[in-house]
Amino acid sequence: MNCTILVVEDELVTQKLIAVNLERAGHQVVRAASVAEAKAAIKEVLPALILLDWVLPGVTGVSFIKQLRTDQRTRDIPIIMLTSRLQETDKITGLEVGADDYITKPFSPGEMLARVKAVIRRRAPQHSDDIVEIAGLRLDPVAYRITGNSKKIELGAIEFRLLHFFMTHPDRVYSRSQLLDEVWGDHVFVDDRTVDVHIRQIRQALQPSGHDEMIETLRGLGYRFLPGLEAAELLADIPSQRSF
């Protein structure tokens, strides 16, 4: 799936080349030449991934990662460091402060795109093109198709993204506000109960195939997607878990 990638690189020629190749791969690119510009960009749009140069004017990429990892809003953004440093100790330093991967300059567009894809698959699977299948429920983000036990399931755009997020993050509890940030975007201001409406619609769509029980409601906490129908069946006789 296309996602927004922030490229923080002060060498403008390199920045442009990176951006062009990412855009050709279908991603939306936001560019920044300094940490200050990167912060301003993140304030406007939370990226799905950051490509971050080690050496930047004023503040190093390593220092910026530390800032990102201590901010609740940005702490989970996947980060790939770009650097000409070849020492193993430098790589270790970048990884220890919170980088997810490390690309040494010069690098080929193919290597960069492969690493971007791998990190997204590992750290932000809701932005991946990979097909997800759990207990007969199958979601294809590229074909925009959902099937339950081989039967086609129709969902609107928001419900599709919400189900995709659930299926790529099973067995974890998410509050309504967290789901709003993840699926709608953290700059969209809508009522928390909007989540309930869309989850109700997802459950109705999944009911014919028997997959509606996979979305568990936890009172006072939020929602959780159960990775197997067996676990959901244990909740079938507990009305408090299924009510809004």
Q: Note whether 221 and 165 are within 8 A (CB).
A: no
* Domain harbouring 144, CATH code: 1.10.10.10
Domain identity same for 169 and 61: no
Determine the average pLDDT of the residues in 64-84: 93
Contact 221, 175 (CB under 8 A): yes
Residue 100 clears pLDDT 60, i.e. is over it: yes
Say yes or no: 25 and 105 in one domain: yes
Q: Do 75 and 174 reside in the same domain of the chain?
A: no
Q: Are residues 90 and 20 in the same domain?
A: yes
66-74 average pLDDT score: 93
pLDDT band, residue 242 (cuts 50/70/90): very low
- Contact between 37 and 13 under an 8 Å Cβ cutoff? The reply is no
State which of 127, 147, 167 marks the end of a domain. 127
- DSSP per-residue letters across 146-194: EEETTEEE---HHHHHHHHHHHHSTT-EE-HHHHIIIII-TT----THH
Q: Which of 106, 127, 148 is the last residue of a domain?
A: 127
Please give the residue range of the domain that contains residue 208.
Answer: 132-242
Tokens of 45: 């749009």
Shared-domain flag, residues 107 and 222:
no
Look at strands 145-148 and 137-140 and give their pairing. Answer: antiparallel
Phi-psi region of 233 (alpha: psi -120 to 50; beta: other; left: phi over 0): alpha
pLDDT tens digit sequence for 11-22: 999 999 999 999
| Alpha helices (H) in the chain, listed in sequence order | 12-24, 35-44, 61-70, 88-96, 109-123, 157-168, 176-179, 193-206, 229-233, 239-242
Closest CA to 37 of 72, 9, 67: 9
Q: What is the pLDDT of residue 86?
A: 67
Instruction: Note whether 8 and 103 are same-domain residues.
Output: yes
pLDDT above 70 coverage of the chain, percent:
91
Q: pLDDT category, 92, cuts 50, 70, 90?
A: confident
User: Average pLDDT of the chain?
Assistant: 89
Percent of the chain with pLDDT over 90: 70
Using alpha carbons, select from 117, 161, 121 the residue that is nearest to residue 139.
161
Residue 233 and residue 213 in contact, taking contact as beta carbons nearer than 8 Å: yes
Q: Which residues contact 145 (CB under 8 A, 6 or more apart)?
A: 139, 152
pTM for this model (two decimals) = 0.78
Q: What is the pLDDT of residue 232?
A: 47
Residue 202 and residue 119 share a domain: no
The residues near 12 (Cβ < 8 Å, ≥ 6 apart) are 33
Domain end, chosen from 71, 103, 127, is at 127
Same domain? For 173 and 59 the reply is no
Out of 33-37, 48-52, 209-213, pick the least confident: 209-213
Residue 28: which CATH number?
3.40.50.2300
**Co-location of 145 and 168 in the same domain:** yes
Containing 106, the helix (H) or strand (E) segment is none
How far apart are the C-alpha atoms of 161 and 158, rounded to whole Å? 5
Mean pLDDT of 131-146: 95
User: Are both 106 and 142 inside the same structural domain?
Assistant: no
Lowest mean pLDDT among 177-181, 183-187, 229-233: 229-233
* pLDDT score recorded for residue 91: 77
Q: Are residues 163 and 234 in the same domain?
A: yes
Q: What pLDDT, on a 0 to 100 scale, did the predictor assign at position 94? A: 81
Q: How many domains does the chain have?
A: 2
Within this chain, do residues 89 and 189 fall inside the same structural domain, yes or no?
no
pLDDT tens, residue by residue, 186-219: 766 778 889 999 999 999 999 999 999 999 999 9
